Amino acid sequence: MTRKFRLSLKITVEANPYYYYLNTIKHLKMSSGGVITQMLTLVPIKEGFLKDLEIYAEENSVPIIHKEVSDLLKVLLKVQKPKRILEVGCAIGYSSIFFATIIGKDADIITVERNEKMIEKAKENIKLAGFDNNITILEGDAEEKLSQVQGEFDLIFIDAAKGQYKLFFDLVIDKLKDGGLLVSDNILYKGMVAHDDFVVRRKKTIVKRMRNYLDYICNCDYLSTSLVPIGDGVALSYKESKRGDVDGIK
Ligand code: SAH
Ligand code: MG
């Protein structure tokens, strides 16, 4: 069988040299030595139900995870083999269904969504995908719903209002197992978080909050965080034991 690929050429403008918020952007600068870095990505085209959802999302401007990010998460899920996932920001259910497809019948996914239209569509999609026993939607604002969530999770995916990531983090971090993975999506927010030149005035506060959030998760002593500049930017944070590791070295 021949595999189809979509070839996408991306031009990434690197960060202001005086503004080293993101280590990943520094790496880009070092490796390119120029002002513009070209990233060539080969993204396999998905088929089937997920593909239909991608088309729906595109046509209806629903911000589902980028293909590059879902490819990375697929690899991580195959390695980590999580069973329980907590997601903040369900939208039409695309990422939840994507996770469930990888994990299979043992998947236990809780996802939070406040937009009624999205909830309705997500329910329909989850049923069509055959995961209504695996995916539970908590309907309402994350601030209220997350405090009601019981138990521990192997992976937590934050993908909702970008100005509220620290609030979501505070509500979920104790529910993440030691050795668990926290994934935060859209951390570069169209490049605005990496570079002041991209910031539009009305997004200033959100950008400032996201930068503070990244600062926090990059310097948190029980997290090992990597900021990955693919898609709209994704942060991967591995959670160590809060009590310190075996060697006592932090
Ligand atoms: N994870 C999805 C995309 C989520 S888009 C995917 O990749 O397929 C972000 C969603 O978060 C939107 O549908 C929005 O309504 C929801 N959202 C944003 N802030 C929220 C909040 N505070 N509580 C609940 N849902 C929220
Ligand atoms: Mg997202």
pLDDT digits (tens, 9 = 90+) for 83-103: 999 999 999 999 999 999 999
- The HSE-up count of residue 191 (CA atoms within 13 Å, CB side) is 12
For ligand 2, a single-atom ion, the residues with CB < 5 A are 159, 185-186
Q: Which one of the ligands is nearest to 120 CA?
A: 1
Q: CA-to-CA distance for 145 and 166, rounded, in angstroms?
A: 16
DSSP single-letter state for residue 148: G
Q: What is the mean pLDDT of residues 2-7?
A: 46
- Answer yes or no: are the C-beta atoms of 31 and 37 closer than 8 Å: yes
Q: How far is the CA of 12 from the centre of ligand 1 (A)?
A: 26
Q: Which residue's C-alpha comes closest to atom 10 of ligand 1?
A: 89
Q: Measured over all CA atoms, what is the biggest interatomic distance in the chain, rounded to whole angstroms? A: 52
- Residue 62 CA, closest ligand 1 atom number: 5
pLDDT at 250: 45
pLDDT tens by residue, 163-201:
999 999 999 999 999 999 999 999 999 999 998 889 999
- Pairing between β-strand 36-44 and β-strand 5-13 as defined by DSSP bridges: antiparallel
Task: Tell me which of 46, 94, 114, 144 to substitute to probe ligand 1's pocket, judged by most ligand atoms within 8 Å of the beta carbon.
Answer: 114
- Answer yes or no: are the C-beta atoms of 223 and 182 closer than 8 Å: yes
Q: How far is the CA of 65 from the centre of ligand 2 (A)?
A: 5
pLDDT tens by residue, 129-168:
999 999 999 999 999 999 999 999 999 999 999 999 999 9
Residue 132, both tokens: 């209504």
Q: Which residues face 8 on adjacent strands?
A: 41
pLDDT at 63: 97
Q: CA-to-CA distance for 183 and 175, rounded, in angstroms?
A: 14
Q: CA-to-CA distance for 169 and 213, rounded, in angstroms?
A: 9
